[in-house]
Amino acid sequence: MKVWLNMRRISLLAWLLAGLSACAGNAPEVRLEGKTTASGQQYSVFHPQGLAIQVTTSRPDVADRRVQLSVAGAYTDLDTDQPLDLLVANGQVLQPTAKVGFLDGVLTIIGDSLTISQIPKGQSPPGAEVARVQRQRGTLLLQELLVYRGRSVRGPGGSFFQRRALVELAGHQWAVVESQADITMQQFAADLVELGAQQALNLDTGGWDEGWYRAGGQVVKLGNRRTDTARQSNWLVFARRAGNE
């Protein structure tokens, strides 16, 4: 309860700072929206405004003002502390095929184009697709798919954690959605559909849940646990485009 109240205070402060920035004529580059679903769950929805998205294996520097939002992306291999099933990162092939058999979602980033697609569990994207993404200096990572074509694809059961996802909304708008409380993936996926998700890909949380964003010139930390921050291996980053620094 104490952690939840602290998170509420942080979110309220961020909303006030964002409002002050907007009143000053500087629209926030990450717009925060609070949502409550019919299930009673509360969510923070982060809307990047004109920012580029990339995946990096180097920890984003909070002093780099180009970076406006940073969250964990693919899972981390517990044995090696390296990204798990981040196949191609900015044109560099890190893994030719998947290592684990339960990931059924694919995030492809090529330039300003983002797509979330589905593959059968236990399989990898075709080698030709990996090569295509490499040639175009793109990124290809596997994660657990939550919503596909406007429908939940998560079954019952599962553990309780704070949840976070990269979500495609109507009109090909993208957002990062984070739960305030610990919930199952099934509940999270159902709520994301209610929030308008067309596609949604899980992002790493649990002990790897630390993230941050800028609000009114302040850096606001995200995540309830943050116990494995030092072991985080990759980050989904929203940053100002070249020339807009």
Mean pLDDT along residues 33-45: 98
Mean pLDDT along residues 26-54: 95
Q: Does any domain span residue 90?
A: no
- Confidence band (pLDDT; 50, 70, 90) for 245? low
pLDDT score recorded for residue 18: 43
The structural domain count of the chain equals 1
d(CA 169, CA 57): 27
d(CA 71, CA 212): 7
Q: Does any domain span residue 128?
A: no
Its domain, for residue 33, covers 2-84+145-239
The position carrying tokens 């409550």 is 36
What digits encode the pLDDT tens for the residues 175-212? 999 999 999 999 999 999 999 999 999 999 999 999 99
Q: Which two tokens stand for residue 80?
A: 């090696």
What digits encode the pLDDT tens for the residues 86-103? 999 999 999 999 999 999
Q: Does any domain span residue 132?
A: no
Q: Does any domain span residue 26?
A: yes
Residue 3 has pLDDT above 80, yes or no: no
pLDDT score recorded for residue 20: 42
Q: Does any domain span residue 17?
A: yes
pLDDT score recorded for residue 19: 46
Residues in a beta bridge with 211: 222
pLDDT score recorded for residue 9: 52
Mean pLDDT along residues 138-144: 98
- Confidence band (pLDDT; 50, 70, 90) for 40? very high
Backbone angles phi, psi at 38, to 5 degrees: -60, -25
Q: Does any domain span residue 78?
A: yes
Residue 122 has pLDDT above 80, yes or no: yes
pLDDT score recorded for residue 55: 98
Q: What is residue 208's three-state secondary structure?
A: helix
> Mean pLDDT for the chain?
91
Mean pLDDT along residues 214-221: 93
d(CA 201, CA 191): 13
DSSP per residue over 87-134, as a string?
EEETTEES-SS-S-S---EEEEEETTEEEEEE--TT----HHHHHHHH
CA distances in angstroms from 234 to 78, 80, 100, 191, 208, listed in the order given: 13, 13, 17, 26, 10
Q: What long-range pairs does 176-179 form, CB within 8 A, spacing at least 24?
A: 176/45, 176/46, 176/48, 176/69, 176/71, 176/203, 176/236, 176/238, 177/43, 177/44, 177/45, 177/46, 178/43, 178/44, 178/46, 178/222, 179/41, 179/42, 179/43
Q: Does any domain span residue 125?
A: no
d(CA 171, CA 163): 24
pLDDT score recorded for residue 26: 64
- Confidence band (pLDDT; 50, 70, 90) for 27? confident
CA distances in angstroms from 113 to 14, 32, 136, 169, listed in the order given: 29, 23, 11, 14
Backbone angles phi, psi at 80, to 5 degrees: -115, -10
Q: Does any domain span residue 92?
A: no
What digits encode the pLDDT tens for the residues 109-121? 999 999 999 999 9
